[in-house]
Structure 1
Amino acid sequence: MRLVSTLLAAALVGAVSAPVAAAPVAPKVLVISMFKHEAANWLENEGLSDKIAIDGLSKDFPDVSCNDKGLCLVTTSMGYANAASSMMALVLSDKLDLTKTYVLIAGIAGVDPQNGTLGSAFWARYAIDGGLQWRIDDRKAPEGWTSGQFGMFSKAQGEKPGSRYGSEVYHLNEALAERAYELSKGVELADSDGAQAYRAHYPQEAAKAAPAVGICDTVSADQWWHGVALSRAMNDWAKVLTDGAADYCTTQQEDNATLTALARGSALGRIDMDRVAILRTASNFDQPYPGQAPQDSLNANSGGFGPSLTNAYRVGKAFTDAVLADWSAWEGGISAK
């Protein structure tokens, strides 16, 4: 009897002293960066000193960094596999409550000189997967085709394929993108002497102009493409998938992968996709200037890297500050059009 009593007492003591699980952190805004340089300005300027270790994040960036205002930052590592894996781990973590969180993807990108210039910042309405296509040798493409790229299981270029993967295109909340644009369009953007000199080589008016904030769309793929024909092909692809609605201007490696993980979380009731925004800033052009070889353009020091990093932070901060300063106006969400 004494042994039973002793065991019962020990069990009760253990139950009383067992640690209570911490309540999940509920960020008002979560910023997603892809590599350390994109994260640096947020970490250095926003007091993100609270670290939350999340199982399954990149070994290089194993923590979510937060401050006491409700702003958090996660860095996924670059490319589709890293972005999807990191975001899936984040979405499924019980350490976070993301049900009312605004998610801001803020990173750098290539830009079509028809639509923008080095240092410019663009809020996206559509994110299009540039890799989910069939491609044949461009030199063997049928007469009249602009490239060897066309939709999977379609018969001709320009024919809209069915959605076989479910991640071919994401239409973001345009009302949120427009609100973010209005909040940030007057932000003073960084530039550089190198970027000014480099953009002068381009004949397009948008490319020669000073950097600005705008709204246009983004195409994702792990493979970096470069050249006038490839840029036009991706623009055509974006229009095919969106029935002409998308206006391609930026190219990057992660967004459709990130959005797919977030969409999985939305299906589980853990994420509100109407609270997701994409901001991409231009670090380089997606094609050479006249007379320049594509490989030289791809490897050129265009002067856009530094300004694009700074502007991703400045423009993104205009949005995050607005949300944090007036949470009662944002907590209920922004209705999609």
Structure 2
Amino acid sequence: MAGLMTAGASSPLRAEEPVKVKVFVAAMFEIGQNTGDRAGEFQHWYERYWKDSQPIAVKGALNPVHCNADGVCGSVLGMGKVSSSASMQAILLNPQLDLSQSYFILSGVAGTPPSRGTIGAVNWATWLVDYDLGHRWAPEEGEPGAPTFMPRKGYEALRLFKLNPDLVQWAMRLTADTPLKDSESARAYRLRYPQETARRAPFVGTGTHMTGDTFFHGPGMSEQAQYIAKLYGADDYVITEMEAAAITLVIKRLQGDERVMSLRGAVNYDQGNPDETTLQHLDPAPGQTAGGFAETVENIALVGTRMADHIVAHWDRWQSGVPAPVK
């Protein structure tokens, strides 16, 4: 038989057409359910786009994919480089989804150095840098005051990604004036830090996102992250996170990275204030945390949905590639 036939039909059965994805939103974790409880990285996106969706199971992905009729899809990929990139590869290779023209928003919470960010701020990446691919040694085993990191040869194409400058410019143009949420607890917490930027209200910015499976912390590690960013020729290190460079590598290998965006909201500083040690900051006493988590995850979605909605509403201009930014 040339094909399966339905009873009384004159044409073969056709496989269901894959979903043509215009924007794919990748979160890394959720707290509890996708709706109706405390929101993690996915809930605000889910409640905007997918409350009435039917989940699409994807073999090899940590969680199902959700899609709406406008071609906006999303999923929770898992935390860390291995889980998140494995989920992304499974989703990209799944025949139920056509992501060949998709724009990707890699979305989640993060840390920030107090000299460059503040609690509740939202940041679009200009560069993604892998923090882990290199050699490290204890400070006392090297020259006093010298860096304790050296890049490992052979990883040049894996450790550094310059994201599409036109896409970053569009993102800032469309979202820089987004009204952002704040909280009394976050405002009070900021006053523990002397840095002017650390005391700012939430804002939308850009910079380098540093991807590391190690949850590095303290002024020394923050300085090392900035050293690595500059060593590689990237912009200032502004965000510490655990997934974006690995996810982007998977997307780049399968279809290119010209449509990748990394969007992060700061829920903590990458170091303590002058009156606490690094270990005290890592393991704060009850009531001593930064606050502002709920507001930050909402801010991420407030900013990111502006970008997603614009792309979908003007798909005739965006389908074939990023339009030239308006000057």
Report the residue type matching 1:148 in the other structure: T
Which residue, out of 220, 223, 227, partners 2:218?
227
Which residue, out of 47, 50, 56, partners 2:54?
50
TM-score by length of 1: 0.87
Match of 1:269 in 2: none
In 1, distance between residues paired with 2:145 and 2:271? 22
Is 2:269 the counterpart of 1:280? no
Correspondence 1:224-303 to 2 at 5 A: 224-242=215-233, 245-266=234-255, 272-300=256-284, 301-303=289-291
Correspondence 1:312-323 to 2 at 5 A: 312-323=300-311
In 2, distance between residues paired with 1:273 and 1:140? 39
Report the residue type matching 1:171 in the other structure: K
Report the residue type matching 1:252 in the other structure: E
Which residue, out of 165, 171, 182, partners 1:174?
165
Q: Contact 1:119/1:190 (CA < 8 Å) preserved in 2?
A: yes
Match of 1:141 in 2: 142
Is 2:200 the counterpart of 1:216? no
Deviations along 1:258-303, one digit per CA (max 9) or x if unpaired, are 111111212xxxxx42111111110100000001121221234211
Aligned length: 306
Instruction: Provide the alpha-carbon RMSD of the alignment.
Output: 1.7
In 2, distance between residues paired with 1:295 and 1:335? 47
In 1, distance between residues paired with 2:263 and 2:283? 24
Match of 1:23 in 2: 17
Match of 2:106 in 1: 105
Q: Greater Rg, structure 1 or structure 2?
A: 1
Structure 2 residue runs without a partner (length 5+): 7-11, 31-39
Deviations along 1:224-247, one digit per CA (max 9) or x if unpaired, are 0110011011101011012xx421
In 2, distance between residues paired with 1:151 and 1:273? 23
Q: Contact 1:133/1:149 (CA < 8 Å) preserved in 2?
A: yes
* Secondary structure of residue in 2 paired with 1:104: strand
Deviations along 1:21-75, one digit per CA (max 9) or x if unpaired, are 11111111100100111111111222351322211111xx1x1101111111111
More helix by share: 1
TM-score by length of 2: 0.89
Match of 1:6 in 2: none
Q: Contact 1:282/1:304 (CA < 8 Å) preserved in 2?
A: no
Deviations along 1:161-195, one digit per CA (max 9) or x if unpaired, are x4436211111101101110110011111111111
Q: Contact 1:274/1:335 (CA < 8 Å) preserved in 2?
A: no
Q: Contact 1:284/1:304 (CA < 8 Å) preserved in 2?
A: no
Match of 2:34 in 1: none
Offset of 1:139 from its aligned partner? 1.8
Is 2:182 the counterpart of 1:191? yes
Report the residue type matching 2:5 in the other structure: V
